[in-house]
Amino acid sequence: MKKMLPWLITILLAITLIAVVAVFLFNQFFNNPEPGNATQEAQSSVENVEPKKISAEKRVELTSEILDVRTNLADTDYLVVISLAFQLDAKKTKEDFEQIKDIQIKPIIIRTLSDLTPEELRGSKGKDALSAKLINLINPVLEPEGKLTNVEITNFIITSL
């Protein structure tokens, strides 16, 4: 019995270690949402905004545009020219947005585009991911006064240099 005791302790420690690692890995892979899923993050960030249908006149009243942002992508051989329309939740939020769009919002857009490659922007999924990422990055700048509810790409050109 004395000769088996060290073996039993070693086996119990090994089983305990394996169980701890298994629980840790399970939590990492199955319980946490994907950190790269910007669309889900954007949807959750605008959940508090009541999804109501608004008239075209009201939509124009709540929308601000940033036209012809030009910057290089992560692959510096490519240049992007993009125009965006931002729909906000209230008129006061739009007024605040208009005041800071050149000094805070435009740099966020440029930094975001500078991290992306042309392949990441291809197709509607790439553009949807960009819109969602911009919502996630711009909403903290606007809080607690208001929220950005939608970003639409109104003009988009990628060209190689």
pLDDT tens, per residue, the chain with 161 residues:
678 888 889 999 999 999 999 988 888 777 655 555 655 666 555 555 445 678 888 888 999 999 999 999 988 899 999 999 999 988 998 898 899 989 999 999 999 999 999 999 888 899 999 999 999 999 998 877 788 899 999 999 999 88
- Class for the domain spanning 38-160: alpha beta
pTM: 0.67
HEC profile of the chain: CCCCHHHHHHHHHHHHHHHHHHHHHHHHHHHCCCCCCHHHHHHHHCCCCCCCCCCHHHHHHCEEEEEEEEEECCCCCEEEEEEEEEEECCHHHHHHHHHHHHHHHHHHHHHHHHCCCCHHHCHHHHHHHHHHHHHHHHHHHHCCCCCEEEEEEEEEEEEEC
